[in-house]
Amino acid sequence: MTTSTTSPADGFRVWAPEAQRVDLVLDGEQHPMDRDVAEGWWIALDGAEPRAAVVDSDYRYLVDGEGPFADPRSRRQPEGVHGPSRVVASDPVPCDGTGWRGRSLIGAVLYELHIGTFTETATFDGAIERLDELVELGVDAVEILPVNAFNGVWNWGYDGVFWSAVHEAYGGPDGYRRFVAACHERGLAVIQDVVYNHLGPSGNVLPRFGPYLADGAGNTWGDSLNLDGPDSDEVRRYIIDSALLWFEEYGVDGLRLDAVHALHDTRAIHLLEELDAAVDALSADLDRPFTLIAESDLNDPKLITPRGPGGAGGYGLDAQWSDDFHHALHVALTGEVSGYYADFAPLGALGKVMEEGFFHNGTWSSFRKRHHGRRIDLERTPSWRLVVSDQNHDQIGNRATGDRLAATLDDGQLAIAAAVTLLGPFTPMLFMGEEWAASTPWQFFTSHPEPELGEATAKGRIAEFARMGWNEADVPDPQDPETYRRSVLDWSERSGGRHATLLTWYRRVIELRRTVPAFTDPAFADTTAIVDEATGSFVLRRGSATLAVNFGTEPVELALRVGELLDSFGEVVTTDGSLRLGPHAVAILHH
């Protein structure tokens, strides 16, 4: 049992090391708390025993007479982030009754979705109704954007303030449990996106209790946590306990760690290494594989290098995102070279990414105006440790109008995007609706009840886009409810026109990924890219399988031993020793 939350077993405990007095306000009644043996902890007693934490009772804390404040480790905020906390039944689920014993990342296809826009209901129960379509598509795991409590009704989820509480509008803790169990019943793993690099701007009670925040430190998105200063042991434990809760209490199979480059930690053992060790220990205890995936802007393979001693001195995480893959493929498809896309203009950038994992691996970055990244040890690092996508919530939502590739590319280009992503050497991730070329955008939306926060958010978005060269007049108001409503998927599209055509293609490509072993070969050495800058032809060899693509607008003829043509999209003609590809055509071959 973790110590991350108030539970019936543990009673009411809270860390407030600098407080002179802490009172529990339970169902409207005030009860003085006593200092626990543990330094800085307070416990509510009923005589000599811990006061019972009755399920569904509401409570808050007074700290030196100020407040009352919600529990920093709250499991539920039924009245929102500014309301009282509610006691939730503590019910570990090492096995949730479905017979599910977990799934590793190796060979998996991920599917990123946002509960608030995945269906019109914007709930876990509504999402359950669409899981069968994901199974039919062929994905292995769903990656869920953050679901912890935030102020307002809709939000991307990265403004959360209670890291162990499930957003009430989605269905709260019970709805989340139902969703995870429903995924497992269908053979789908669940990877939960979590944010430990900053706190949201509304409802953050942590500073009221103790030195949770780093002195004078923050990042682009909000206040940073105290990971290496005085009293940081308990702050780190706060984060790790929250992470373990998702595995132990809700049965998830992995966590996607948001923007770990923004974690400021100068201690000898980095928080990520400590977290990985704790998750490994829980995995062994529960006899289930657990996965940690980092999002990082650093292009540093240390994240996925084994821990020491005995390892290579890394953090030991299972995987990390490679944004370089997205950027290289995006430029090859669209020709956009503004902002950070500039360095990826040559088609050879995509070839380098395929063979080496990162494009920037010690190279000059014109966007950063410095050298960037480090080389991956290709002999010791399996390629599946890099998670890639041609679209994701950031790369769509952080465009001025939130436009998907389907808004500007033809069907052939979309088919190429699918084939390169799904049949390349890495772990592929799709973004919800991508598989049917959804016409709905995915824009940046918020619902801050505080007018000043809404105004500041809108101004911040405009400033972000200025560096990419986009017109501020094109940026929708994040606070406008229509910005949110435009972003909700329209599932009725799937049955006709280009949507049905692309959906059939995605299913077929995923099927080939499953049935041709070369497409999940984890060895970088077995992947070779052949690029022709002049014609736009791109040939990816993966052992006995070959992917041939024409990014260009004119037909190309390749001197290529064809073997078996497994499938194709667009104009493809095969003869002995040659392959003719029409504009924006793709062929999948096996020798």
Q: What is the DSSP string of 26-65?
A: ETTEEEE-EE-SSTTEEE-EETTEEPP--TT-EEEEEETT
**Is 118 in the same domain as 261?**
yes
pLDDT of residue 177: 96
* Residue 290, marked binder: no
Bridge-based pairing of strands 66-69 and 427-431 is unpaired
On whether residue 253 sits in a domain, the answer given is yes
**Is 425 in the same domain as 363?**
yes
* Residue 461, marked binder: no
On whether residue 462 sits in a domain, the answer given is no
Whether cis (ω within 30° of 0) applies to the bond prior to 68 is yes
> Which residues belong to the active site?
258, 295
* Residue 448, marked binder: no
* Residue 395, marked binder: yes
On whether residue 470 sits in a domain, the answer given is no
Closest CA to 322 of 390, 263, 381: 390
The CATH number covering residue 158 comes to: 3.20.20.80
* Angle (nearest 5°) at CA 460 between 454 and 462: 110
**Is 262 in the same domain as 293?**
yes
HSE toward the beta carbon, residue 337, CA cutoff 13 A:
10
Whether the CA torsion 11, 16, 21, 27 is positive or negative: it is negative
Q: What is the DSSP string of 186-251?
A: TT-EEEEEE--S-B-SSS--HHHHSS-EEEEEE-SSSEEE-SSSTTHHHHHHHHHHHHHHHHHTT-
pLDDT of residue 90: 82
* Residue 260, marked binder: yes
Closest CA to 223 of 235, 234, 233: 235
d(CA 145, CA 126): 16
Count: domains in the chain: 3
On whether residue 471 sits in a domain, the answer given is no
**Is 122 in the same domain as 252?**
yes
* Residue 394, marked binder: yes
pLDDT of residue 3: 41
Q: What is the DSSP letter of 320?
A: E
On whether residue 204 sits in a domain, the answer given is no
* Residue 396, marked binder: yes
- The residues facing 573 across adjacent strands are 580
477: tokens are: 């108001």
- The residues facing 50 across adjacent strands are 45
81: tokens are: 């982030």
- Stretches where the chain sits below pLDDT 70 are 1-9, 93-97, 216-218, 310-311, 461-470
**Is 545 in the same domain as 580?**
yes
Give me the count of residues in the chain. Answer: 591
* Residue 20, marked binder: no
**Is 536 in the same domain as 564?**
yes
How far from chain centre, in Å, is Cα 42?
A: 35
Distances 98 to 173, 246, 591 between C-alpha atoms, Å: 18, 17, 41
pLDDT of residue 91: 77
**Is 391 in the same domain as 333?**
yes
Q: For residue 495, what are the domain limits?
A: 113-197+235-447+481-511
472: tokens are: 């501020």
**Which residue in this structure is represented by tokens 């043996």?**
37
pLDDT of residue 94: 52
**Is 178 in the same domain as 243?**
yes
* Residue 327, marked binder: yes
On whether residue 103 sits in a domain, the answer given is no
Q: What phi and psi values does residue 314 have, to the nearest 5 degrees?
A: -95, -165
HSE toward the beta carbon, residue 153, CA cutoff 13 A:
9
Average pLDDT, the chain: 93
* Residue 171, marked binder: no
d(CA 255, CA 363): 30
**513-533 burial, b for 16+ CB within 10 Å, e for fewer?**
beebebbbbbebeebebebbe
**Is 569 in the same domain as 425?**
no
d(CA 226, CA 237): 11
On whether residue 249 sits in a domain, the answer given is yes
504: tokens are: 């059939």
* Residue 297, marked binder: no
On whether residue 206 sits in a domain, the answer given is no
d(CA 347, CA 350): 6
Closest CA to 420 of 388, 381, 385: 388
d(CA 457, CA 38): 40
**Is 124 in the same domain as 75?**
no
* Residue 43, marked binder: no
pLDDT of residue 26: 95
**Is 436 in the same domain as 564?**
no
Closest CA to 125 of 135, 115, 134: 115
The CATH number covering residue 43 comes to: 2.60.40.10
Query: Residue 293: CB partners within 8 Å, gap ≥ 6?
Result: 105, 191, 254, 255, 256, 257, 317, 318, 319, 320, 321, 387
**Is 387 in the same domain as 293?**
yes
* Residue 259, marked binder: yes
* Residue 397, marked binder: yes
Query: Residue 137: CB partners within 8 Å, gap ≥ 6?
Result: 111, 435, 503, 506, 507, 510
Query: Residue 183: CB partners within 8 Å, gap ≥ 6?
Result: 131, 142, 189, 190
d(CA 364, CA 373): 9
Q: How many other CB atoms sit within 10 Å of the CB of residue 269? A: 12
* Residue 444, marked binder: no
224: tokens are: 């940073």
pLDDT of residue 562: 86
